[in-house]
Each structure stands twice: as C-alpha cells, then as structure tokens.
Structure 1
Amino acid sequence: MLSRSTRSMVTFSNDFMIGESLREFPAGTYEILVEEELLQGLSFEAYRRTGTYLMVQGRGSNAGQTTMHMTTQEDLEHAMACDRALSETNKHSEAALSPQEDMT
C-alpha cells in the first residue's frame, strides 16, 4: 500500500488544549504530521487520511525529546479557532496553518 506524509506548522499565540486531552500545551509553533494512504482501484489518484499528529518538543528535563500526540483535523481546527478568538480578544496574532509540504 502506498502512503505519503505531509508536514506543516501551526503557531498558537496562547496556551491551548486539543481534543479530549486534559493536557495544556504552551503557546508556540508546532509541527503537524498528516499520514495518508493511496486509495487503490480508482481511475484517479486519491488519498485517505490515516492519521494526524501534533509533534511536541520536550522542555526542561525532557529537552531533546519529541512526542507525537494523535489528534484529528477537526480537533486541530477547533483549537486554532479558539486560539484565534482568544487572540482577537487579547489583541494577539492569529493561529494559522502553513501550507502543507508533500514529503513523499
């Protein structure tokens, strides 16, 4: 089965939570990894998303470590919308995804 990975960056201006996780992540720039698989048997090329991950760099005693937190596109977009709303209230910059980079 053929698969591809794309990476993008998202910047949060405020501390945030994503999905049902009770963990709060600090404001900053985070890498997003999206994994997709090629759908076979179609007359055109199409991919299905198999995973979305928030890459979190370790801090303090965990510096140098990276963890992958599985999430969904919907949860990611919701976290970004919440950050945008809070930023507008606090007059900070908006969170935004950078264009995806195809890593196949």
Structure 2
Amino acid sequence: MTIRSRHETVTFKHPFHLRGIARQLPAGAYEVVTDEEMIEELSFPVWRRVATLITVPSESLRGATERLAIGSVDLADAQAADRERRP
C-alpha cells in the first residue's frame, strides 16, 4: 500500500470551531496534513483520503501544539464560515 501526505497551511481571520474539537480555536495560520492511500487494483492512479489532521495550540501546555484528526468537510465548512464572517 502506497501512502502520501499533503501539507498545506490554512489561515483563519476569526476565531473558529471545528466539529469534534470542544474548544474555540484562535484566528491564525494552521498546518493541515492530509494522508491518502493509493488504490492499487486499478489501471490508473487513484488516491483515497484516509486522514486529515490539523496542528492546533495545546489546551493544557502553553506554547505547545497538538495534532488532531478532523473531517475534511468540517474544515471546508469552517473556512467558508470564516470567509463569510464580517470583520
């Protein structure tokens, strides 16, 4: 099984919530890693998302970070809500 990871930075202009994370996250830039695996039975390359992780400030240790699993649709919804929110 072949796995690849895509790294991107997403920026929120306003504090936001993500489903599955009980606390509000501050505005700022966040690293998001998406892991995908290749479906090898096909005659052409196809990748299936198996995990989406976001690096956030730790709730318990100041200055530390933690990586949490999130849904890619939940991330897209939070980004859309951030774009629609007025300053």
Q: Supply the RMSD in Å over aligned alpha carbons.
A: 1.7
Letter in 2 for 1:68: R
Identity %: 33
Structure 2 Cα separation of the partners of residues 41 and 73 of structure 1:
25
Listed as ranges, the gaps of 5+ residues in structure 2 are none
Give the helix-richer structure, 1 or 2: 1
1:73 Cα offset (Å): 1.1
Equivalent residue runs for 1:1-104 within 5 Å: 1-58=1-58, 61-63=61-63, 65-86=64-85, 89-90=86-87
The normalised TM-score by structure 1 is 0.76
The normalised TM-score by structure 2 is 0.90
Give the strand-richer structure, 1 or 2: 2
Shift of the 19–61 alpha-carbon distance from structure 1 to 2, 3 Å rule, reads closer
Structure 1 Cα separation of the partners of residues 11 and 48 of structure 2:
25
Compare relative contact order (CA 8 Å, sep 6+) and give the higher one, 1 or 2.
Answer: 1
Structure 2 Cα separation of the partners of residues 5 and 25 of structure 1:
24
Structure 2 Cα separation of the partners of residues 57 and 21 of structure 1:
12
